[in-house]
Structure 1
Amino acid sequence: MSDMTRGQPAWVFDPLDRPELFEGTLSRRVFAYLLDIFFVTLFWLMAGLVVFFLGIATFGLAWAIYPALWPIVGILYVTATLGGANAATPGMGMMGLTMRLWHGGRPDPLIALMHVVLFYAASAVLTPLIHLIGLFTARRQLLQDLILGTVVINARMLDRTIAPPPGR
Structure 2
Amino acid sequence: MNQYQTALPDPATAPELFDGVLTRRVFAFVIDLVILGAMVLAFSLVGLVAGFLTFGLAWVALVVVVPASIVLYYAATLGSPKRATVGMQLMDIVLTPTRGQPLDGWMAVIHAAIFWVTVWISWPLSLLIALFTPRRQMLHDLLVGGLMVRRSPMVRHWQAMNARSQGAY
Name the TM-score class by shorter chain: 0.7 to 0.9
Does residue 77 in structure 1 map to residue 77 in structure 2? no
The answer to whether the Cα contact below 8 Å between 2:8 and 2:98 also exists between their aligned partners in 1 is no
Q: Which amino acid aligns with 2:151?
A: A
Match of 1:101 in 2: 97
Q: Tell me, which stretches of 5 or more residues in structure 2 are unaligned?
A: none
The answer to whether the Cα contact below 8 Å between 2:43 and 2:66 also exists between their aligned partners in 1 is no
Pairwise CA distance, 1:74: 2.4
Pairwise CA distance, 1:112: 0.8
TM-score by length of 2: 0.84
Pairwise CA distance, 1:117: 0.9
Secondary structure, counterpart of 1:139 in structure 2: coil
Does residue 145 in structure 1 map to residue 141 in structure 2? yes
Alignment partner for residue 37 of structure 1, among 30, 33, 39?
Answer: 33
Match of 1:155 in 2: 151
Pairwise CA distance, 1:97: 0.4
The answer to whether the Cα contact below 8 Å between 2:95 and 2:147 also exists between their aligned partners in 1 is yes
C-alpha change, 1:28 and 1:106, in structure 2 (3 Å) is farther
Counterpart-to-counterpart distance in 1, 2:147 and 2:123:
21
Match of 2:14 in 1: 18
| Two-structure CA RMSD over aligned residues (Å) | 2.5
Counterpart-to-counterpart distance in 2, 1:133 and 1:51:
40
Counterpart-to-counterpart distance in 2, 1:139 and 1:106:
20
Identical counterparts, % of pairs: 35
Counterpart-to-counterpart distance in 2, 1:149 and 1:16:
20
Secondary structure, counterpart of 1:100 in structure 2: strand
Q: Tell me, which stretches of 5 or more residues in structure 1 are unaligned?
A: none
Pairwise CA distance, 1:52: 1.7
TM-score by length of 1: 0.84
Pairwise CA distance, 1:56: 2.1
Pairwise CA distance, 1:145: 0.4
Match of 2:132 in 1: 136
Q: Which amino acid aligns with 1:59?
A: F
Counterpart-to-counterpart distance in 2, 1:88 and 1:153:
11
Secondary structure, counterpart of 1:156 in structure 2: helix
C-alpha change, 1:147 and 1:106, in structure 2 (3 Å) is same
Secondary structure, counterpart of 2:71 in structure 1: helix
Secondary structure, counterpart of 1:20 in structure 2: helix
Secondary structure, counterpart of 2:82 in structure 1: coil
Pairwise CA distance, 1:135: 0.3
C-alpha change, 1:106 and 1:152, in structure 2 (3 Å) is farther
